[in-house]
Structure 1
């Protein structure tokens, strides 16, 4: 089953793991650390798993008990203060999908993002007009203003990923090229944008042709896998649901590996990136 999200960010996870390492290096148990806080051992366990907010006062007490020096304590608390500041995506929280609220810190730190869509252009490669037209169809529950804000947010995501040179490996069906989203101008602009994206060194685009055989991702819903090159952070997989704005999120190694294998099998069966560019001609 999907793991319940807890609001933790990449920075919080790194700091929480550091606290665990310091406690273990000091040879202290959960109970001993909890006694210093006047709390239950479960509280320390939750702190080390970033399942609760990292309070500066509690963290300072734990660092002192663990034997951290003044310089290390100051550095740690400085990083905690930075982690507690709102993320760049904060202005768009009202129109973000629930799963995005927790995953944006992971996406913003990802070194590679693999994504699959069975019938549409993957979100991270959509143009503003195409993205807005998709919401017009799939999100009738939203106001026009909210749809505009969501499009703005998606463009911000794309710009930031490009600036940090995150690798995007996108897999899609050629059906997306033949499914009209918006008007003819919207579709023409989207195809031109895909042609440009396919030329970028950090983008790998593969397309399953319409007359191709069934493959490992046939019938699977939209899927995204995030990899962060930080030892404390697991890979995350997001499988979008049927209801608008819903998704299952996993970071268990076995589950993520299973989905990565499906993507690998499907990519092997898809057109080579060079051939996929010809699909866009």
Structure 2
């Protein structure tokens, strides 16, 4: 299992990869680059693996050593300044779980997000009222104001994904469609939202009906799969469960491939998206 470091954003990882490419293109070893910095080679290794903060002065020195053109240097330093600015989610950080803080930069760069929940509507498809009702039951450790803020954040996450044209692919269970979360009005609004989402071009929604046979994800806790499609940035899988507010996060690990296969197999046996729309009616 691997976790992203807080503050280690996808933008930082992209810049770190670019610095590695420039160093290798210049024919320099890490030891030679470290001498230009007046530092140990381990410092260059940590910079290239985004295991330390990317400092403007250090990056400028490395780019000079690598023979980067002035225009390229300005571009990279501009990207570094943008990467060092707080993420859009910063105002909600006080109500976010630690694993969410670590993964928001990945979600904000994702091209595909796939999700599964064994009993509830997957998080990214929840209406604010439904999300608030879920937290009322599952997160008694939070105050009512905190639950409201989390519902607000969820709506903002969904809007950001829409703006960046991220493809969402969700598996919904028949149990989620029948389980009463909140009052009748909350459920009616949630089902209407699912029907509307199923019509969106960026959304693929499939249903596993209650009377269907067991499938590859039967008994598996809630999952979210992220694909960024940026060189050097691996796929990520989040598996929720256990204590409230906790999750396991994997990247560049056999577990990622295993869960992706399980998602593929489960999607293959779920209702076709067109038939799933009928199940939501």
Deviations 1:101-125 (A, max 9, x none): 1211111111111100000000111
81-90 vs 24-33, which moves further: 24-33
Aligned to 1:66: 66
Residues of 2 paired with 1:5 and 1:271: CA distance?
34
Q: How does 1:1-281 map to 2 (within 5 A)?
A: 2-7=1-6, 8-252=8-252, 254-281=254-281
CA contact (8 A) 1:93 1:101 kept: yes
Checking the alignment, whether the CA contact within 8 Å between 1:170 and 1:205 is kept in structure 2 is yes
Structure 2 SS opposite 1:109: coil
TM-score, scaled to structure 1: 0.97
**1:231 CA displacement:** 1.7
Deviation at 1:174, TM superposition (A): 0.7
Offset at residue 248 of structure 1 (A): 1.3
Superposed CA deviations along residues 72-109 of structure 1, whole A, max 9, x for unmatched, are 11111111001101111010011111111121111111
Structure 2 gaps of 5+ residues are none
Contact 2:116 2:224 in 1 (8 A): yes
- Aligned partners of 1:17 and 1:49 also within 8 Å: yes
Give a deviation string over 1:44-70, Cα, whole Å, max 9, x none.
Answer: 111101111101111111111111122
Secondary structure, aligned partner of 2:108: helix
Cα distance in structure 2, aligned partners of 1:42 and 1:4: 21
C-alpha distance in structure 2 between counterparts of 1:176 and 1:105, whole Å: 29
Cα displacement string for residues 177-221 of structure 1 (whole angstroms, at most 9, x for unaligned residues): 111111111111111111111111111111111111111101101
Distance in 2 separating the partners of 1:4 and 1:139? 23
Q: CA deviation at 1:253?
A: 5.2
- Counterpart CA distance in 2 for 1:164 and 1:187 is 28
1: CA distance, partners of 2:45 / 2:239: 29
Structural RMSD (CA)? 1.1
- 8 Å CA contact 1:235, 1:253 repeated in 2: no
Q: For each residue in 1:141-172, what CA deviation from the matched residue of structure 2 results, as whole angstroms up to 9, or x when unmatched? A: 00111111000000000111112221110002
8 A contact 1:16–1:50 mirrored in 2: yes
SS in 2 for 1:230: coil
Q: In the aligned structure 2, how far is the partner of 1:97 from the partner of 1:64?
A: 40
| Dislocated runs of 4+, deviation >2 Å | none
Aligned residues: 280
